[in-house]
A and B are shown apart, each in its own frame.
Chain A
Amino acid sequence: MPIVLIVAEQQPDGNLRKASLNAISAGKQLADKAGAELHLVLLGKEPAKVADELKGSGAKVVHLGAAPELEHYLAETYAPAIAALAQELKADYVGMASTAQGKDLMPRVAARLKAAMATDITAINGAGADLTFTRPMWAGNVFAEVKLTTPVKVFTVRATEFAAAAGGQGAAEVKTFAPKVEASKTKFVDFKEVKSARPELTEARVVVSGGRGTKGDFKEIEALADDLGAAVGASRAVCDAGWVPNDLQVGQTGKVVAPALYIAAGISGAIQHLAGMKSSKTIVAINKDAEAPIFQVADYGIVADLFKVLPELRQELAKLK
Chain B
Amino acid sequence: MKILVTAKRVEDPESKIKVKPDGTGIVQEGLKYKINPFDEIGVEEGLRLIAKHDPKGEVVVVSIGGKEVQEQLRHALAMGAHRAVWVNHTGPLDQLAIAGLLQKVTEKEKPDLVILGKQSIDDDQNQVGQYLAEFLGWGQATFASKVESLESEAEKNKVPAVTLTADGKAVRVVREVDNGLATVECQLPAVVTTDLRLNQPRYASLPGIMKAKSKPIEELTPAKLGVDVTPTIQVLKLSSPPARKAGIKVPDVATLVDKLHNEAKVV
CB distance from A78 to the nearest CB of B (A): 12
| Binary CB contact string for chain B from 251 to 263 against chain A (1 if under 8 A, 0 otherwise) | 0111011011100
- Selected from A75, A111, A145, A298, the residue in CB contact (under 8 A) with B99 is A111
- Selected from A106, A142, A284, the residue in CB contact (under 8 A) with B19 is A142
CB distance from B96 to the nearest CB of A (A): 6
Which of B139, B237, B266 has most chain A Cβ within 10 Å? B266
- Selected from A112, A143, A299, A303, the residue in CB contact (under 8 A) with B239 is A143
Given known contacts A142-B239, A143-B238, A144-B237, is B181 in contact with A117 (CB within 8 Å)? no
The answer, yes or no, to whether B210 is at the interface (CB within 8 Å) is no
Q: For the complex, give the distance between the alpha carbons of A303 and B11 in Å.
A: 33
| Binary CB contact string for chain B from 239 to 255 against chain A (1 if under 8 A, 0 otherwise) | 11100101111101110
- Selected from A143, A189, A206, the residue in CB contact (under 8 A) with B241 is A143
The answer, yes or no, to whether A99 is at the interface (CB within 8 Å) is yes
Cβ contacts under 8 Å, A303 to chain B? 249
**A137 in contact with B141 (CB, 8 Å):** no
Q: For the complex, give the distance between the alpha carbons of A142 and B186 in Å.
A: 36
**A149 in contact with B235 (CB, 8 Å):** no
**A301 in contact with B249 (CB, 8 Å):** yes
Cβ contacts under 8 Å, B140 to chain A? 75-76, 104, 108, 186
Q: For the complex, give the distance between the alpha carbons of A260 and B175 in Å.
A: 30
Binds A, one of B64-72, B142-150, B218-226: B142-150
Q: Which residue of A lies closest to B177 (CB)?
A: A100
**B267 in contact with A132 (CB, 8 Å):** no
**B182 in contact with A300 (CB, 8 Å):** no
Cβ contacts under 8 Å, B135 to chain A? 111
Cβ contacts under 8 Å, A114 to chain B? 96
**A316 in contact with B254 (CB, 8 Å):** yes
Binds A, one of B45-53, B82-90, B126-134: B126-134
- Selected from A142, A149, A275, A281, the residue in CB contact (under 8 A) with B266 is A281
The answer, yes or no, to whether B194 is at the interface (CB within 8 Å) is no
The answer, yes or no, to whether B122 is at the interface (CB within 8 Å) is yes
Given known contacts A100-B143, A139-B13, is B176 in contact with A246 (CB within 8 Å)? yes
Which of A106, A142, A272 has most chain B Cβ within 10 Å? A142
**B259 in contact with A137 (CB, 8 Å):** no
- Selected from B138, B232, B240, the residue in CB contact (under 8 A) with A142 is B240
Given known contacts A79-B134, A111-B135, A191-B181, is B196 in contact with A142 (CB within 8 Å)? no
Other 6 A-B pairs with CB < 8 A, given A120-B124, A290-B249:
A110-B131, A112-B134, A117-B95, A141-B16, A146-B234, A148-B232
